[in-house]
């Protein structure tokens, strides 16, 4: 479901297109599931009836009626179909945008087993993760020896603040990595880039992150966004 990216397209409009494409696909999927009486959808409907409806409402709105509403009513369908925001649409759009704007070989490494992370100043994919290890890195461009961290955050809140702390932890570990390899560079990682999109990453927060980076590494640890790539 890739989009062709034109030179005039902004990342914001590209992300909106990707979101709409996935929304349309999810809509078609939920209709097909309703038509075939998919077991997982039936289970979801039963859970909805028991948890969200009163007794009289549950009696009136049987699974068959709700299945028919899903097929015919966009409002009901919207409740049961997948949410593109929970399908990594932001991250996949960032990677696709970055791929067409200077890093054609960029890809997403594994997020679990086999994924790369930083711990104790080491870039590793070891199966045993130390307690203080970072999350896995989100993207890699082998030809540029670049590793990337991608975030797309629009709102304030506790979960978003946790992501911000994750970014800070990455910076601390990346600085430790470069300090450790300064005399013996690790060819796997010449630079790390943070693609921080969304309203949450204000100029103040970006400046706070940049202040954590020693001047000697200012060209190796880069705070930017997919939207900055034009």
Q: Please, where are the H alpha helices in 36-87?
A: 39-52, 55-60, 63-72, 74-80
Return mean pLDDT, the chain: 92
User: In sequence order, what E strands does 46-203 have?
Assistant: 117-119, 122-124, 139-141, 146-152, 191-197
The C-alpha angle with vertex 26 and arms to 24 and 30, in degrees rounded to 5, equals 120
Mean pLDDT of 63-68: 97
Give 124-152 pLDDT, tens digit per residue: 999 888 988 999 999 999 999 999 999 99
Q: What pLDDT is recorded for position 87? A: 83
With pLDDT > 90 as the criterion, what percentage of the chain qualifies?
80
Helix (H) or strand (E) holding 15, with range, is: helix 11-35
Q: How confident is the model at residue 112 (pLDDT cuts 50, 70, 90)?
A: confident
């Amino acid at each position: 479901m890739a989009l062709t990216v034109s030179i005039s397209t902004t990342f914001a409009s590209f992300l909106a297109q990707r979101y709409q494409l996935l929304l349309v696909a999810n809509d078609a999927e939920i209709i097909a599931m309703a038509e075939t009486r998919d077991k997982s959808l039936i289970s979801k409907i039963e859970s909805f009836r028991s948890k969200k409806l009163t007794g009289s409402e549950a009696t009136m709105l049987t699974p068959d009626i709700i299945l028919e509403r899903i097929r015919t009513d966009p409002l009901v369908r919207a409740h049961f179909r997948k949410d593109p925001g929970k399908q990594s649409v932001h991250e996949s759009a960032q990677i696709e945008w970055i791929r067409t704007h200077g890093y054609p070989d960029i890809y997403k490494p594994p997020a679990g087993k086999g994924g790369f992370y930083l711990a104790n100043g080491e870039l590793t994919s070891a199966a045993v993760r130390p307690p203080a290890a970072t999350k896995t890195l989100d993207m890699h461009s082998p030809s540029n020896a670049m590793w990337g961290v991608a975030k797309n955050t629009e709102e304030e809140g506790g979960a978003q603040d946790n992501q911000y702390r994750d970014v800070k932890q990455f910076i601390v570990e990346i600085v430790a990595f470069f300090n450790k390899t300064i005399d013996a560079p690790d060819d796997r990682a010449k630079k790390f880039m943070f693609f921080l999109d969304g309203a949450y990453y204000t100029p103040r927060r970006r400046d706070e992150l940049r202040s954590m980076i020693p001047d000697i590494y200012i060209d190796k640890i880069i705070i930017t966004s997919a939207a900055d790539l034009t």
